């Protein structure tokens, strides 16, 4: 028997515009994320353009990447930008102490990153080094990227092959400064932030949004101190929140072949994102009622035990239908907080954590998460429309979560888009969709589901999990009754 839910789209109460940046990505020098996943080098037999994989670029162009964060993560606070410029055969090699202790030959530096971002049409978010850097080093990196005059650094950039300055959209002062970025107290970092941010100087027409390194999950004290002491000097503050099925770092849970209890706990923990954003938002509202300062979730996603037999420090994990639904739930939450949340960056783009793309030598596949991002494309830049959901719970033993989740938005052409997620892995949902005061016109549907909760795409069967057309039944006036299959994401769009 199916479960029941009703979803009322409040078309007369438009919310905030959903910043396309909410669908941003993150690529760190970590495992096979940048090296292999993006960069293979010009002499590689893998088809590439100036060293960057053509297959990955094509897949990302198709998806559309509004903004890309680089070079870390924890790596950012040990990255010295001068290591990554000039002739590649003369660049120093360094140890990536955070991620597996492997050697980074610095083949992928500022020029290669900017080239890649231009290829995929992404805005750039560069994360500066506070932990092991200096104010001068950071200021000079910013000058190198943005100077439009004849300064020595601008000339050096030209000598290295880039005449015009790059547009620098976002720049962060450190990463996780409460942890891998220096184990600082918020008071200390707030002062450091003010000092560093003072010297982010660029031409007037190329001012990046200045981002303060934000809190770990629910630590609102961090946000409180930063907003109080440094709020005036920032354009945004971040927050990081990952979904660990078992909630502990030592034994996080597997990406596939997980018990149903971990399907349940994964969604329970993902849903906490809403509360986290609400709580940080409340504090920000006190210091910044106009919402000038954005809250950026610049790291989120699932974090599982690494795939058996792979390097612990490479964070390589499989990506199943469960991940696609985790992405959808997060998107729905981000939409609700769109007034404050203007960028998020899933961790991470290729071969690391909850990736869009996995590669194996010359092979590449699009993960279920990639398809969730693709299905939500119409929401980018659309105006959020609140929905009221009344739903049966999906229950397992003593645990439960609401079975149906929904979001809606109206795009710039006036078309309405609605996403519905059924988290129950066994029962279909009979959903009564209502658009009060509107006649529901022809809707197109796309569905993402699979036979099992841990269905994945493999290099042998790369299209096992992918969206399929969904036949939308005929509406009656402002009502439409739909059957959303078990464990599925359905996106409906007005033609
Ligand atoms: O995304 C992996 C790591 O998670 C990042 O480097 C760090 O910022 C966070 O702890």
Pair (366, 483) in one structural domain: no
What's the gap in Å between 412 CA and the centre of ligand 1? Answer: 35
What confidence score (pLDDT) does residue 263 get? 98
Distance of alpha carbon 240 from the chain centroid: 10
Instruction: Specify if 159 maps to a domain.
Output: yes
Pair (241, 296) in one structural domain: yes
Last residue of a domain, one of 380, 397, 428: 380
Atom number in ligand 1 closest to CA 176: 8
What's the gap in Å between 206 CA and the centre of ligand 1? Answer: 28
Last residue of a domain, one of 352, 380, 408: 380
What's the gap in Å between 377 CA and the centre of ligand 1? Answer: 26
Pair (369, 455) in one structural domain: no
| Of 122, 130, 119, nearest in space to 52 by CA | 119
Element (H, E) at 171: strand 170-173
What confidence score (pLDDT) does residue 442 get? 85
Pair (416, 319) in one structural domain: no
The mean pLDDT value for 27-36 works out to: 98
Structure-token match 């102490």, residue found: 97
What confidence score (pLDDT) does residue 150 get? 97
Top mutation candidate among 347, 348, 350, 353 for ligand 1, by most atoms within 8 Å of CB: 347
Q: Are 379 and 59 in contact (CB under 8 A)?
A: no
Is the model's pLDDT at 493 over the cut of 90? yes
Ligand 1: residue whose CA is nearest its atom 3: 73
The mean pLDDT value for 336-357 works out to: 98
Residue of 112, 123, 140, 176 marked active site: 176
Question: 172 pLDDT band (50/70/90 cuts)?
Answer: very high
Pair (61, 172) in one structural domain: yes
Pair (358, 343) in one structural domain: yes
Instruction: Specify if 375 maps to a domain.
Output: yes
Average pLDDT of the chain to the nearest whole number: 97
Predicted confidence (pLDDT) per residue in 113-170, tens digit:
999 999 999 999 999 999 999 999 999 999 999 999 999 999 999 999 999 999 999 9
Instruction: Specify if 15 maps to a domain.
Output: no
What's the gap in Å between 73 CA and the centre of ligand 1? Answer: 5
Predicted confidence (pLDDT) per residue in 186-242, tens digit:
999 999 999 999 999 999 999 999 999 999 999 999 999 999 999 999 999 999 999
The mean pLDDT value for 440-464 works out to: 96
Is the model's pLDDT at 266 over the cut of 90? yes
Burial of 388 (0-12, 13-18, 19+ CB in 10 A): exposed
Ligand 1: residue whose CA is nearest its atom 4: 73
Rounded Cα distance between 5 and 391, Å, is 4
What's the gap in Å between 189 CA and the centre of ligand 1? Answer: 18
What confidence score (pLDDT) does residue 441 get? 84
What is the ipTM for the molecules in this complex? 0.99
Other CB atoms within 10 Å distance of the CB of residue 460: 8
Ligand 1: residue whose CA is nearest its atom 9: 73
Is the model's pLDDT at 399 over the cut of 90? yes
What confidence score (pLDDT) does residue 13 get? 87
CATH of the domain at 445: 2.60.40.1180
Q: What is the CB < 6 Å shell around ligand 1? A: 28, 72-74, 175-176, 299, 347-348, 353
Q: What is the share, in percent, of the chain residues with pLDDT greater than 70? A: 100
Top mutation candidate among 24, 34, 73, 349 for ligand 1, by most atoms within 8 Å of CB: 73
pTM of the model: 0.98
CATH of the domain at 306: 3.20.20.80
Pair (389, 374) in one structural domain: no
Ligand 1: residue whose CA is nearest its atom 1: 347
432 belongs to the catalytic site? no
Question: 70 pLDDT band (50/70/90 cuts)?
Answer: very high
Top mutation candidate among 299, 349, 350 for ligand 1, by most atoms within 8 Å of CB: 299
Pair (446, 372) in one structural domain: no
Both structure tokens of 162: 């880039």
Cis previous bond, 223, omega within 30: no
Pair (341, 488) in one structural domain: no
Structure-token match 């890309």, residue found: 68
Q: Dihedral, CA atoms, 10, 12, 16, 18, nearest 10 degrees?
A: 60
Helix spans in 310-395 (H): 321-336, 368-375
Domain count across the chain: 2
| Of 207, 174, 208, nearest in space to 192 by CA | 174
Residue 453 makes CB contacts below 8 A (sequence gap 6+) with: 258, 260, 263, 320, 321, 322, 425, 487
Atom number in ligand 1 closest to CA 299: 1
What confidence score (pLDDT) does residue 12 get? 87
Last residue of a domain, one of 380, 400, 417: 380
Phi, psi of 102 (to 5 degrees): -85, 165
Is the model's pLDDT at 14 over the cut of 90? no
Instruction: Specify if 113 maps to a domain.
Output: yes
Beta bridge partners of 212: 173, 237
- The domain containing residue 205 runs over which residues? 20-380
Q: What is the share, in percent, of the chain residues with pLDDT greater than 90? A: 98
Top mutation candidate among 240, 252, 317 for ligand 1, by most atoms within 8 Å of CB: 240
Instruction: Specify if 208 maps to a domain.
Output: yes
Pair (181, 311) in one structural domain: yes
What confidence score (pLDDT) does residue 105 get? 98
What's the gap in Å between 300 CA and the centre of ligand 1? Answer: 9
Instruction: Specify if 342 maps to a domain.
Output: yes
Residue of 112, 299, 388, 460 marked active site: 299
The mean pLDDT value for 427-452 works out to: 95
Pair (397, 287) in one structural domain: no
What's the gap in Å between 240 CA and the centre of ligand 1? Answer: 9
299 belongs to the catalytic site? yes
Pair (372, 408) in one structural domain: no
Helix spans in 337-480 (H): 368-375
Atom number in ligand 1 closest to CA 179: 10
Ligand 1: residue whose CA is nearest its atom 2: 73
Instruction: Specify if 368 maps to a domain.
Output: yes
Instruction: Specify if 404 maps to a domain.
Output: yes
Greatest alpha-carbon span in the chain:
72
Rounded Cα distance between 78 and 137, Å, is 12
């Amino acid at each position: 028997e199916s479960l029941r839910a009703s979803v009322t789209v409040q078309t007369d109460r438009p919310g905030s515009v959903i910043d396309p940046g909410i669908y941003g990505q993150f690529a760190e020098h970590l495992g096979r994320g940048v090296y292999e996943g993006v960069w293979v080098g010009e002499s590689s037999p893998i088809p590439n353009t100036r060293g960057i994989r053509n297959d990955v670029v094509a897949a990302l162009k198709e998806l559309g990447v509004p903004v890309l964060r680089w070079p870390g993560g924890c790596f950012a606070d040990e990255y010295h930008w001068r290591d990554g410029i000039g002739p590649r055969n003369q660049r120093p090699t360094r140890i990536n102490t955070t991620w597996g202790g492997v050697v980074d030959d610095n083949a992928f530096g500022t020029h290669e990153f900017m080239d890649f971002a231009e290829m995929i049409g992404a805005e750039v978010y560069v994360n500066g080094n506070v932990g092991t850097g200096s104010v001068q080093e950071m200021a000079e990196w910013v000058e190198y990227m943005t100077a439009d005059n004849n300064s020595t650094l601008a000339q050096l950039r030209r000598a290295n092959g880039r005449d015009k300055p790059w547009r620098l959209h976002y720049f962060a002062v450190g990463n996780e400064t409460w942890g891998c970025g220096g184990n600082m107290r918020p008071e200390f970092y707030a002062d450091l932030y003010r000092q560093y941010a003072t010297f982010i100087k660029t031409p007037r027409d190329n001012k990046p949004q200045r981002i303060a390194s934000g809190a770990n999950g629910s630590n609102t004290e961090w946000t409180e101190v930063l907003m109080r002491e440094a709020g005036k000097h920032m354009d945004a503050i971040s927050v990081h929140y990952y979904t660990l099925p078992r909630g502990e770092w030592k034994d996080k849970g597997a990406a596939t072949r997980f018990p149903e209890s971990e399907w349940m706990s994964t969604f329970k923990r993902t849903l906490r994102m809403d509360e986290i954003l609400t709580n940080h938002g409340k504090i920000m509202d006190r210091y910044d009622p106009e919402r000038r300062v954005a809250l950026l979730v610049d790291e989120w996603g699932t974090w599982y035990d690494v795939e058996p037999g792979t390097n612990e420090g490479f964070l390589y994990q499989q990506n199943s239908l469960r991940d696609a639904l985790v992405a959808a739930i997060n998107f729905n939450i981000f939409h609700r907080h769109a007034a404050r949340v203007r960028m998020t960056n899933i961790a991470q783009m290729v071969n690391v954590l909850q990736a869009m793309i996995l590669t194996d030598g010359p092979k590449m596949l699009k993960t279920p998460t990639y398809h969730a991002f693709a299905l939500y494309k119409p929401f980018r830049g659309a105006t959020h429309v609140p929905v009221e959901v009344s739903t049966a719970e999906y229950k397992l033993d003593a645990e439960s979560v609401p079975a149906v989740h929904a979001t809606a938005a109206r795009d710039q052409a006036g078309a309405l888009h609605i996403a519905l997620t059924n988290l129950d892995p066994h029962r279909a949902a009979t959903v009564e969709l209502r658009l009060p005061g509107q006649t529901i016109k022809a809707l197109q549907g796309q569905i993402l589901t699979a036979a099992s909760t841990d269905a994945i795409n493999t290099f042998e069967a790369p299209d096992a999990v992918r969206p399929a057309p969904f036949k939308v039944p005929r509406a009656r006036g402002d009502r439409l009754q739909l059957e959303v299959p078990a464990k599925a994401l359905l996106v409906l769009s007005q033609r």
